[in-house]
Amino acid sequence: MPTTPAAMIPALLGLLAMQAARPAPAAESAPSPHPPAAPVKRSNLDYWLERATPATSAPATQVVIEPATDPSVPARPDALPGIIELSDGRLVPGWIYTTRDRNLEVWVESEKRWRCVPLLSVLSLTAVVIEQEMVQQWRWKEMGQPERVYTGKQFPAMRFHWKVHLIDDSYVVGAIRGQPLWVSLKDQKYGPFVLCDRAKGDLGKDFADIIHVKRAIISRKMLERALQTPPGEKQE
């Protein structure tokens, strides 16, 4: 039996409804002109910094010991513990130092050269008297005449070499010409004690009246032992 157009209308309406219910295909997006950024690599430091928390406790108070209140603290970072002994028997204990950024300069006659010795490498310095004499005082007789007139007065004169004992147990022996040493202890400073190669006394005086450095010893034990005697006084 042939199908009439009127009978096909309901079927066509059903097909149209099914077609409208289907989702439309997604449109293809245009490619981006900029490539995607590469992921940033994070370091371990960033990781731990993000997880760090502020300190909840107060920082500890730092105690600073002033040199003036503690004899075990040097007044200068290059000062060394020890004592200086003078020729009259007095001891000066404390922290020993010389001119800043300067070594001991020793003229070694046998080598015909100066030896530069850092104070840090020294165990001791000892004055060795190589010559002493009583010198007659004199003056020129008249201006322009090379004739001496002696006054009958005399004064003592001495010459020294210094025996420098180093930490490697070697020695440097020679002349030191005008090297100053200072000693500090608490709030007191002593010196300068000049290491020289010659010295002279006053008219009418003797060799014992020439007060000079007899020796200097770099040693914490010597400093602690000498602290039982007040600085500048003779040790019993």
pLDDT of residue 75: 73
pLDDT of residue 220: 92
**Cβ proximity of 208 and 79 under 8 Å:** no
DSSP-derived pairing of the beta strands 104-108 and 113-117? antiparallel
Q: How far, in whole angstroms, is CA 145 from its chain's centroid?
A: 57
DSSP letter for 60, please.
P
Q: Identify whether 192 is preceded by a cis peptide bond (ω within 30 of 0).
A: yes
pLDDT of residue 61: 37
Q: How far, in whole angstroms, is CA 165 from its chain's centroid?
A: 23
pLDDT of residue 102: 92
pLDDT of residue 12: 57
Low-confidence ranges of the chain (pLDDT < 70): 1-72, 229-236
Radius of gyration from C-alpha coordinates of the chain: 47
For 134-174, what is each residue's pLDDT tens digit?
999 888 887 777 888 888 899 999 999 999 999 999 999 99
Q: What is the largest CA-CA distance in the chain?
A: 174
CA distance 197 to 194: 10
CA distance 67 to 94: 11
CA distance 77 to 54: 36
H/E element holding 15? helix 5-21
